[in-house]
């Protein structure tokens, strides 16, 4: 019934908090959602609404039950490739504050690591897209949230450190990143080369001539 509601009513973007509190207590729900996915049932609208509310409860409301449920959901469900982008956007929108209690920050870091491990190609592509964006507003806030999380995510931080520096406001950092890429381009994977191509060109056309000198 819930699936049909969210499929047919596009203005339903979130699961009500009371309903979410009830759903996160259902141990069987993640497995059932995966079985529905396997049966080609379109669960994405409901899943997006559930994840959005669950992340809010896990982070903003500090609800341990929501955090536990989200971990089980990540373990049980194989997201569609397009939903990885949606999930990361929802996660970053839910974690805008500069500081969180240690247990919440640790949980956020673990979620990022889980998504990177389960969906490496989609994760890399979306992270590169966000870090290379020069847009303001919501995208800029997501970029700031992502940068904070990556700094604490030791297992994947180095992979995106160069990309972060390519768009750093300090020209010295941009120059350092460009020099690193010039010297190490051959060691990058084909996928990584494709992802940084436009960023590399941006730096070659940098407003500060000192970056390319």
**28 close to 35: Cβ distance less than 8 angstroms:** no
Residue 1: per-residue pLDDT: 47
Assign 79 to helix, strand or coil.
Answer: coil
pLDDT at 82 over 60: yes
pLDDT cut 70: percent of the chain above it: 85
H or E segment and range at residue 212: none
Nearest-5° Cα angle at 175, 172 to 177 = 110
- Cβ of 202: how many Cβ atoms within 10 Å? 16
Assign 86 to helix, strand or coil.
Answer: helix
Residue 12: per-residue pLDDT: 61
Burial label for 8, CB within 10 Å (0-12, 13-18, 19+), is exposed
**34 close to 74: Cβ distance less than 8 angstroms:** no
> Of 22-31, 131-140, 181-190, 193-202, which one has max mean pLDDT?
22-31
Residue 13: per-residue pLDDT: 67
Closest CA to 188 of 157, 165, 160, 168: 160
Residue scoring higher pLDDT (167 or 111):
111
pLDDT at 49 over 50: yes
Q: Where are the domains of the chain?
A: 2-156
**2 close to 42: Cβ distance less than 8 angstroms:** no
Burial label for 211, CB within 10 Å (0-12, 13-18, 19+), is buried
- For residues 142, 139, 115, 194, the Cα torsion angle rounded to the nearest 10 degrees is -130
- Cβ of 118: how many Cβ atoms within 10 Å? 15
pLDDT at 102 over 80: yes
Between 21-25, 46-50, 96-100, 180-184, the lowest mean confidence (pLDDT) is in 180-184
Rounded to whole angstroms, how far apart are CA atoms 96 and 141?
A: 7
181: which 2 tokens? 């890429």
For the four alpha carbons of 21, 25, 31 and 35, in that order, the dihedral sign comes to negative
Residue 156: per-residue pLDDT: 62
Under the banding of pLDDT at 50, 70 and 90, the label for residue 68 is: very high
């Amino acid at each position: 019934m819930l699936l049909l509601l969210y499929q047919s009513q596009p203005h339903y973007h979130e699961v009500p908090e009371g309903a979410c509190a009830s759903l996160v207590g259902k141990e069987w729900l993640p497995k059932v959602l995966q079985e529905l996915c396997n049966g080609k049932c379109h669960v994405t609208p409901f899943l997006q609404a559930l994840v959005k509310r669950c992340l809010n409860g896990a982070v903003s409301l500090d609800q341990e039950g929501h955090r536990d449920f989200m971990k089980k959901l990540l373990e049980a469900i194989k997201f569609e490739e397009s939903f990885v982008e949606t999930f990361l956007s929802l996660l970053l929108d839910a974690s805008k504050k500069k500081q969180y209690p240690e247990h919440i920050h640790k949980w956020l870091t673990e979620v990022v690591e889980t998504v990177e491990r389960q969906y490496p190609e989609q994760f890399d592509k979306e992270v590169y897209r966000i870090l290379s964006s020069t847009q303001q507003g919501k995208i800029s806030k997501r970029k700031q949230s992502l940068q904070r999380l990556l700094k604490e995510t030791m297992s994947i931080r180095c992979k995106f450190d160069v990309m972060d520096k390519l768009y750093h406001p300090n020209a010295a950092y941009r120059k350092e990143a460009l020099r690193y890429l010039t010297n190490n381009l051959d060691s990058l994977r084909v996928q990584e080369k494709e992802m940084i191509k436009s960023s590399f060109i941006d730096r070659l056309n940098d407003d500060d001539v000192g970056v390319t000198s």
